[in-house]
A and B are shown apart, each in its own frame.
Chain A
């Protein structure tokens, strides 16, 4: 496993570079990959590449496609990393931000801000409200699923699914009864997730939260490992389990809140990526967290690429595609575990 790690990490980096290139190149105006990189390099530093392209093409790359691709990377990486952290925190490999109702909680917060026009915190209103919703849902599911200090998979999944259903219904209700002229469209976006119309201003907050959050999680990767051994063993190895879990719930809620505020709830990324990574390089979070972040970024970039090209010029909400892959995967995982 240890010797395999550098190879896997190298392959994942190559996959990410390939996914970014393909996603920036593809679209209604197809661009050659070489030109994509020339434009990107030129914008990093003008001396790195001679401009041989039209200004329109540069606008397509820099202002239309790149922000969307980067946001897909940030959202994918964030969901995957949060999924892995949640799985350790509840010690259950079936945990996922959407399955536990965390994403729906964030949706309710975000939709509430939009519908009621609350804007106390300027550009931060949406992510802060989404964070509050996410944290409330997560804590509620955790305590509903826990009984006498124990938490079974069945209770966790049932509590999560019920919470997700109720909160999705609340969010849809808020959208449908609002004065929004594009009610149906925005309801679909919140429920199924989508990255259409991404601009640079939408990228920064989730990018900062995901990068900072991932660094913090890497710093606590050893304690996360201890949780996999069980609460009592973790305590005997020096971890203050309750305080640690509470702090990480807040961290995960911050990340999910900022993600959902821009993308709606995209499901299953947080379930599939950690599992694939564990199969490849094992469960040690010191190695698995970076790998799952890279894989999640590539996965969502490619899923979003399909979402906007399959039936172009129409778009499919990207959450539909991740659910098409993720639902069967979830069922397979459940069957495998019950053996």
Chain B
């Protein structure tokens, strides 16, 4: 599915958290969304999965405005992996992942064999099948993150929105999670902090700063010392990996001297 962001503005209390952002994500493309804290990445993503309505502008999924279709229809096509929020309700890991089937169900529908297979498969792929009956609240941050990705998988979406999915994950599970998303062949927008990781896994990278889209293109084109200095205010070197040719960011331990 293609995802088109069209002049999206999110204004809260007279301030633009997202200012006139437009881009397109092609079918099967993985787009990395990077930028410093407070750049508006999460706010922009919220407008995709109907958690915050844009003040103006549209978000189109295969040409259809996500804000004009029923929420359930959108949730069948687009899944979101969000930052974990704790609860007090003794939900098991299985309960959490089973929620992913909700958009496909009517009132009083039970879980059929298909649902059970999809849930088991999602648990398996994220390496959390052994925790199925463990209480979610008592897992480590990394385990929780994997369970939430498993829930998104159980939705069987064609598009995924992931907000910092590698937060709390160790190196191994960061690679596994991003490889998994790539391997699904879904259209994906992934907010990431780790630029080297973004360069390795994303087809293109969009850079946001202060609510605006400031750069968009292939990792090699976007990840430059000039961009890093302007947006992140850091002095960094970008080298190409000797085998893969993927850009790698090496940080110098000083803040950048230049500031526009």
Contact = CB atoms under 8 A, between A and B. Distances in A.
A91 B105 contact: no
Interface in B151-201: 155, 161
A219 B155 CA distance: 20
A57 interface: no
B71 A240 contact: yes
Contacts of A93: 88-89
Contacts of B89: 87, 93, 228, 278, 283
A283 B90 contact: yes
A229 interface: yes
Interface stretch (B33-41, B56-64, B93-101, B217-225): B93-101
A337 B49 CA distance: 32
B102 A225 contact: yes
Contact of A236 (B49, B87, B88, B108): B49
A208 interface: no
B249 to A, nearest CB: 31
The prevalent SS among residues of A at the interface is helix
Nearest to B76: A238
A51 B2 CA distance: 76
A48 interface: no
Task: Give the most central of B88, B105, B133: most A CB within 10 Å.
Answer: B88
B50 interface: yes
B82 A233 contact: yes
Contact of A1 (B82, B92, B110, B161): B92
B79 interface: yes
Give the one of B51, B98, B161 with max A CB within 10 A. B51
Contact of B79 (A230, A236, A240): A236
B72 interface: yes
Interface in A220-246: 220, 222-223, 225-226, 228-233, 235-240
A92 B92 CA distance: 17
B102 A237 contact: yes
Contacts of B102: 222-223, 225-226, 237-239
Contact of A230 (B70, B71, B87, B100): B87
Interface in B19-73: 46, 49-51, 70-73
Contacts of A33: none
Interface string A191-231: 00000000000000000000000000011101101101111
A27 interface: no
A296 to B, nearest CB: 18
A331 interface: no
Interface of B: 46, 49-51, 70-76, 79-80, 82, 85, 87-92, 94-96, 98-100, 102-103, 105, 107-108, 110, 133, 155, 161
Interface of A: 1, 87, 91-93, 218-220, 222-223, 225-226, 228-233, 235-240, 278-279, 282-284, 286, 337
15 contacts: A222-B105, A230-B87, A232-B85, A233-B80, A236-B75, A236-B80, A236-B161, A238-B70, A238-B76, A239-B102, A278-B90, A282-B90, A282-B92, A284-B91, A337-B88
Given A229-B91, A237-B75, A238-B72, 7 more contacts: A222-B102, A228-B87, A228-B91, A229-B85, A230-B87, A232-B85, A237-B102
Give the 9 A-B residue pairs with the shortest CB-CB distance, closest first.
A238-B75, A219-B107, A236-B80, A238-B72, A236-B49, A238-B71, A238-B103, A230-B85, A283-B89
